[in-house]
Amino acid sequence: MSSHAKGNLRCLLLLLLLAVLGLCWISYKSDPQTRRTSIVHLFEWRWTDVALECERYLAPNGFAGIQISPPNENLVITMPWRPWWERYQPISYKICSRSGNENEFRNMVTRCNNVGVHIYVDAVFNHMCSSGAGSGYRGTCGSYFNAGSRYFPAVPYSNFDFNDQICKTPSGDIANYSDPVQVRDCRLLGLVDLTQRSDYVRSKIADYMNHLLGIGVAGFRIDASKHIWPQDINAIIDKLNNLNTRWFPRNSRPFIYQEVIDMGGEAVRSYEYFGNGQVTEFQYGAQLGTVLRKWNGKKMANLKNWGESWNLMPSDKAIVFVDNHDNQRGHGAGGSSILTFRNHRLYRMAVSFMLAHPYGTTRIMSSYRWPRHIQNGTDINSWVGPPSYSDGSIKHVPINPNGTCGNGWVCEHRWHQIRNMVIFRNVVYGQPLVQWWDNYNNQVAFGRDGKGFIIFNNDDRNLFEMLPTGLPAGIYCDVITGQKEGNHCTGIEIHVAANGLANFYINSQAENPYIAIHVEAKL
Ligand code: QV4
Ligand code: CA
């Protein structure tokens, strides 16, 4: 080959390399939501509605996954209407519940996986139904059971599979939360307690979970994990198959998060469960609620070292949320500081702070309305189940022309501030928190290194500040008062100068007293 030809070849190879690099760059650039980071709990939704929501809303807005209500057969309870919590009283592991049958479940998992939204199943296997439930064919699939004799033939379980001989309290119920043994081996709320130390029980539970994995679910919330020995959860996880390779890479393991309520002061601690996967961080919503409500002298400036320094668990272990289906109605733990959709102004700020902050894996609550009725400090209607017809069937979730939900569904995940912050979190993924600013009170701001910036005014005086954002120069559209549509901004525009400085004004009385900007919302 002449040296001239060699030169041409080299040139060609170089061009080819550049072309490949260019293609990679383009595909990277054209997919701003490569990393999806948030889970939404579609509490009590029907499977057919979940499937539609994946396709029409969750996938296009970058949601990573959904926590669904327990899909297995449960005890039908009428009081005279059906409480939401009947679903935490299993009768068998058949897939049929008020949310739908197995065909509808399979259809949902397929359709959600096809658009890249993963399904996380609420797995209830600490217990079966209440010991006082009697007997009969009162499961949601019509299966027979006898709670008194601990007989659940549709699994099958019999009295050998329960902790009655192992629990040492006189009543058989958990009496003292400072004794870790009875927390695990006695009955939670009188629910008949399975003995997960038995290989038979472990196998029955794993069979159920493997059935779901085969259908294509991506992981599990393990209900009442505090009441199961961590080593028993570990033994069950060891029996689980990998994720379905129709949608997931070979050898992918199920995502596991365990429900442990550790507010301090009890025998069982969340770190005992870290070896099995992630754990719910209930301190997160309780503390954030206290700060935003300005209780106990707390202020947003205190959030400068939010995270592990607040005695929260390590970030990579934590599932975080502002409220959940229990503490939004006074069940479980968390206390009065918990913010919910009812305090919508503070709630939006809390959820947005959570989504902007790098700590933890974030879960958004999506609720239904119920007629709250407080008597002597407790909500006597906290049992009220989802919007349903007189035959007990759950109502569908109709979408109004403005994108909100009808039929009594709150759909917090569709509030545009929350939706836009789910996108914000994806855009800033992996970027460290930088440029923290506060006024020593309740005006705070921080950036996510070159990708996004957020600023809050939870004080009673207006905010006027010029602050370094760390963002490239340009005009950005605030995703809280509006959003970028085409090349136009429907909200406040923020001008970032060449040196990264920008002026912010936030009226303390504003309906949304905060501003969030990110590089995908640059005009
Ligand atoms: C009643 C009495 C008991 C008595 C029993 C006798 O309160 O003292 O022993 O009767 O039969 C419902 C009723 C409850 C009733 C129980 C059994 O509310 O009053 O007990 O049924 O009949 C949900 C609800 C519970 C509900 C339960 C089962 O929140 O109210 O109980 O479903 O239907 C702790 C745990 C934590 C738990 C949290 C609520 O550490 O794990 O309490 N959270 C999870 C779920 C939650 C669910 C369960 C666990 C149980 O998130 O939704 O409880 O699966 O903090
Ligand atoms: Ca137990």
Nearest CA to ligand 1 atom 26: 85
Pocket-testing residue among 189, 325, 367, 384, ligand 1, by greatest number of atoms within 8 A of Cβ? 189
Q: What residues contact 429, with CB distance under 8 A and at least 6 apart? A: 35, 37
- Phi-psi group of 425: left, alpha or beta (phi > 0 → left; psi -120 to 50 → alpha; rest → beta): alpha
Count other Cβ atoms within 10 Å, centred on residue 299: 18
- For residues 420 and 416, what is the distance between their CA atoms, to the nearest angstrom? 6
In this structure, which residues have their CB less than 5 angstroms from ion ligand 2? 126, 193, 227
- For residues 57 and 378, what is the distance between their CA atoms, to the nearest angstrom? 35
For the chain, helix, strand, coil in percent to 5 are 35, 25, 45
Specify the DSSP element, H or E, that contains 456. Answer: strand 452-457
Distances (CA, A) of 45 to 76, 99, 109, 343, 411: 17, 6, 14, 23, 11
CA nearest to 427, candidates 456, 444, 446, 448? 448
Which residues have C-beta atoms less than 6 Å from ligand 1? 85, 88-89, 124, 130-132, 173, 188-191, 223-224, 226, 259, 261, 326, 331-333
CA nearest to 367, candidates 323, 336, 402, 401? 323
pLDDT in tens, the chain (523 residues): 344 444 455 544 444 444 444 443 333 334 444 689 999 999 999 999 999 999 999 999 999 999 999 999 999 999 889 999 999 999 999 999 999 999 999 999 999 999 999 999 999 999 999 999 999 999 999 999 999 999 999 999 999 999 999 999 999 999 999 999 999 999 999 999 999 999 999 999 999 999 999 999 999 999 999 999 999 999 999 999 999 999 999 999 999 999 999 999 899 999 999 999 999 999 999 999 999 999 999 999 999 999 999 999 999 999 999 999 999 999 987 678 999 999 999 999 999 999 999 999 999 999 999 999 999 989 999 999 999 999 999 999 999 999 999 999 999 999 999 999 999 999 999 999 999 999 999 999 999 999 999 999 999 999 999 999 999 999 999 999 999 999 999 999 999 999 999 999 999 999 999 999 999 999 9
Place of tokens 């640059």: 522
Q: What residues contact 361, with CB distance under 8 A and at least 6 apart? A: 37, 39, 257, 278, 318, 319, 320
Ligand having the closest approach to the CA of 189:
1
Q: Would you tell me the crossing angle of helices 416-427 and 344-356 to the nearest 10 degrees?
A: 10
Whether 417 and 348 have beta carbons less than 8 Å apart is answered as: yes
Distances (CA, A) of 76 to 43, 88, 382: 18, 11, 17
AA letter at 68: I
Among candidate residues 44, 86, 223, 323, the one labeled active-site is 223
Does the annotation count 259 as an active-site position? Answer: yes
Could you give the maximum distance between any two Cα atoms of the chain, in Å?
96
- Enter the pTM of the model: 0.94
Among candidate residues 73, 259, 281, 459, the one labeled active-site is 259
For residue 4, give both structure tokens.
Answer: 């001239």
Specify the DSSP element, H or E, that contains 443. Answer: strand 443-448
- For residues 414 and 57, what is the distance between their CA atoms, to the nearest angstrom? 8
Place of tokens 């397929």: 110
